Structure 1
């Protein structure tokens, strides 16, 4: 990358310094989302395995699972609120400081969950505290992704925004591997009693160390060229969210709709499938977690492939193909996951997570490209997190209800319908690959 940004607002500097700066920005956008999503997936995995019995004293395992999935959904309600709050400051005072604050909120909330006593110790206060901290997780993550995507894309050359925007999109794969890998190791090394008593808390507490690393990296980066140019030209608006809804409501809604398929694919194939695999198919925890760790590797492989394709062919063509494939994948759920065969289950998880990577990768460039600089942090964050409400907040809960009443074929139909809705949103969008960000 040259020493000047595409807008020409960066001062000249030696090539080696520019390269170091570019590498630092890429790493900062990646490491933050990796840590944030590690925190989020730690809870998702715990919700599927242990949150129900520890915090909700129902006699029915199904009722416990539904209660745990309700707390899982609370964070998705909080995420748009976080995108409003952090988006405001990200568009008003800058990307860097806002990203540091969002990481702190997320990390503190996650770490404290690891210390909340269970229902047996403090009664109904336990689920109340859990819900408050889960809400805090959602607030923090609501401000994270939009800023990380902007950090990458606002530094990127115009013809490589898909590639640069891919790095924050790799964060979820790494965060998921770290989260599930740690749970996998604990499941192998601890008895069931030890895991339920204290073992599940370890991944939450480990978050404190990872957040420290992320803060160190992010404090070393500079403000993005596009935002600095907006300051110089006095383009900032007083209330970004008002400008967003007043002038850019349509791209916000279309961006949110396009995100539905990503969230549905991921949380159905991880949270719901993990719960279903352990409770109904009678896989051991460690075996199913191992299958998920294997499958998410293909999500990581699909991410750079899809990002490069989006730079070459455009965001819309890649997403259209991905959505159509996701519609078809819903029909594989009952025969593959429902078979209970290890290889068939692994194939199903691999297909779904590969398609998650295909549909998720272009979003790192697409959502920022939908908005001008003065509302970009807010707009990208709101679209991303409203998509989370629509596609993920209730997905495991609805899937559990559908599985109880109609079986896995109904859950597969839910995946197909979600993908079809995203396809309609993408078809209504304009292509954004050639748009200038400043």
Structure 2
């Protein structure tokens, strides 16, 4: 049974006596996640259409793209290390220092990527610098966790919690739409030579500017006295990794695998299809980037719908049904992607709709398993591990399997993620996931 909407007296109060509304938290969350995902997709798109030619020009197109995807995965390996480091900063110096330092590193690394000379200019040093900056990006993202999603989860009305906890996930389609349209504009209005020489750098500089705006927007919320008090009231304080695993090891394990299908599908409809179209068809990148932006808009709506549905049937039932849908999609998807442009559009739109319904609740469902005083760090660790296991190597694995064994092999990879999610949901049921 859903509890009644909390009375105003149960909501955290601002210093002047006004309520801190969940909608205010949601705005800060969406701004922060949109900036992070824009960074993410700028690098992802460049990994397909820029880096193979600039930094792996010594290899054939497929091998160069696989190397580029290997660099892409480095951020996911570094992210848990960043979370551990910045948790110490948070505990000793506060969220203000942690967020400022992490986003400074993130912005510097992002701008630096736009300034790296090509392999033809400085040789292997260009690859080494790209790898170091990618590691710095992942490390910094570990410190970008501000705890607002956990606070949002706990302040949202019980009968509308699904609608509120989907808010952080809206940043993904927003970031993808902006990144895709920006690259599409550059490709449509520049020669290929100009784009590869200097045009591709602009999205990285734009990412830095967006990060600055997002930093101030988030600091404006996180470091204010009323929100600091709200964190304290809910005991949402950072704990050590040792304590987190000692107290919530099983919950962290379940949390890491519950969203596996969502995160695998995430890359199967964003990064992987772009690489397949680029390498194995004669379509223009501009047209496919526009299809990707359109499909992401469907995903945006589906994420919102996930909140409505979850509030009616519960997180677990929705995620389980989405896992089944992803399993079915994994068998049909190769036929669509390997057909014509219409089939590709159907692949993208249907994939994004399923992704939105699943991705919208994948994080919030697991966060509620943690006790309030351990939710801040536990949610951060779960997020890091889920992205690492479910998404970090997905583009590399999917492209390698599909190139060597055919598109159905990529579908089987996605199917394995769906089966893992079903198993994790069964395990999470033992932990009373609603």
Normalised by the size of structure 1, how large is the TM-score?
Answer: 0.90
Aligned pair 1:403/2:385, yes or no? no
Q: CA RMSD in A?
A: 2.4
- Compute the displacement of 1:102 (Å): 3.4
Q: Find the counterpart in structure 2 of residue 227 from structure 1.
A: 231
Q: Find the counterpart in structure 1 of residue 362 from structure 2.
A: 363
- Compute the displacement of 1:125 (Å): 1.2
Aligned pair 1:213/2:217, yes or no? no
Secondary structure at 1:362's aligned position in 2? helix
Secondary structure at 1:115's aligned position in 2? coil
**Residues 101, 371 of structure 1: alpha-carbon distance in 2 compared, 3 angstrom cutoff:** farther
Secondary structure at 1:219's aligned position in 2? helix
Pairs aligned (count):
425
Q: Find the counterpart in structure 2 of residue 308 from structure 1.
A: 308
Q: Find the counterpart in structure 1 of residue 384 from structure 2.
A: 385
5+ residue gaps in structure 1?
none
Q: Find the counterpart in structure 2 of residue 173 from structure 1.
A: 173
1:2 and 1:218 map into 2 onto residues whose CA distance is 25
* Native 8 Å contact 2:110 2:137 kept in 1: yes
Q: List per-residue Cα deviations over 1:97-118 (Å, max 9, x = no partner).
A: 5444433332222122111111
**Residues 247, 2 of structure 1: alpha-carbon distance in 2 compared, 3 angstrom cutoff:** closer
- Compute the displacement of 1:368 (Å): 2.4
2:261 and 2:22 map into 1 onto residues whose CA distance is 31
Which deviates the most, 51-60 or 289-298?
51-60
2:61 and 2:148 map into 1 onto residues whose CA distance is 38
Normalised by the size of structure 2, how large is the TM-score?
Answer: 0.91
5+ residue gaps in structure 2?
none
Secondary structure at 2:13's aligned position in 1? coil
Q: Find the counterpart in structure 2 of residue 18 from structure 1.
A: 19
**Residues 346, 229 of structure 1: alpha-carbon distance in 2 compared, 3 angstrom cutoff:** same
**Residues 102, 27 of structure 1: alpha-carbon distance in 2 compared, 3 angstrom cutoff:** farther
2:133 and 2:428 map into 1 onto residues whose CA distance is 36
| Residue pairs, 1:152-167, within 5 angstroms | 152-167=152-167
- Compute the displacement of 1:58 (Å): 2.3
- Compute the displacement of 1:395 (Å): 1.1
**Residues 322, 145 of structure 1: alpha-carbon distance in 2 compared, 3 angstrom cutoff:** farther
| Residue pairs, 1:54-65, within 5 angstroms | 54-65=54-65
| Residue pairs, 1:2-13, within 5 angstroms | 4=8, 6=10, 10=13
* Native 8 Å contact 1:33 1:145 kept in 2: no
Which deviates the most, 422-431 or 116-125?
422-431
Which deviates the most, 355-364 or 202-211?
355-364
| Residue pairs, 1:320-331, within 5 angstroms | 320-331=320-331
* Native 8 Å contact 2:82 2:139 kept in 1: yes
- Compute the displacement of 1:219 (Å): 2.1
Q: List per-residue Cα deviations over 1:31-73 (Å, max 9, x = no partner).
A: 0110011001100000011111101132311110111010011
Secondary structure at 2:50's aligned position in 1? helix
